[in-house]
Amino acid sequence: MFASPAYAQAAGGSAAGGRAGFIPIILIFAIMYFLMIRPQQKKIKQHLAMVAALRRGDQVITQGGLIGKVTKVKDDTELELELAEGVKVRVVRNTIAQVMNKTEPAEAPKK
């Protein structure tokens, strides 16, 4: 009497309407992949290749800003850098930010 009877609203969604709602989400993910994720993966791959190619004599810059010359490649994770004459430090390979001067590999001695 004081309240009018409530009527159920008709169910409005169809199968095609539900799929259309996912299209913007898929497009946003695709844009994020091509603008953010893929370039970052490419940069990481280039850095790993640069670090793997380090050898004795290369002049490098560490992520801390130190400039030095590689004097010894100890193993897969460690290098020895000479920062100044007689000053040598051990650094982790992955902390190398940039290679300034790349040395050429020495030719094998001829017999």
Give the 3-state secondary structure of residue 3: coil
Give per-residue pLDDT as tens, 13-33.
555 667 788 899 999 999 999
What domains appear along the chain, each with residue ranges and CATH number? 17-101 (2.30.30)
Mean pLDDT of 83-92: 94
If residue 87 lies in a helix (H) or strand (E), which one and from where to where? strand 87-92
| Entry pTM | 0.67
With vertex at residue 18, the alpha carbon angle to CA 14 and CA 20, rounded to the nearest 5 degrees, is 115
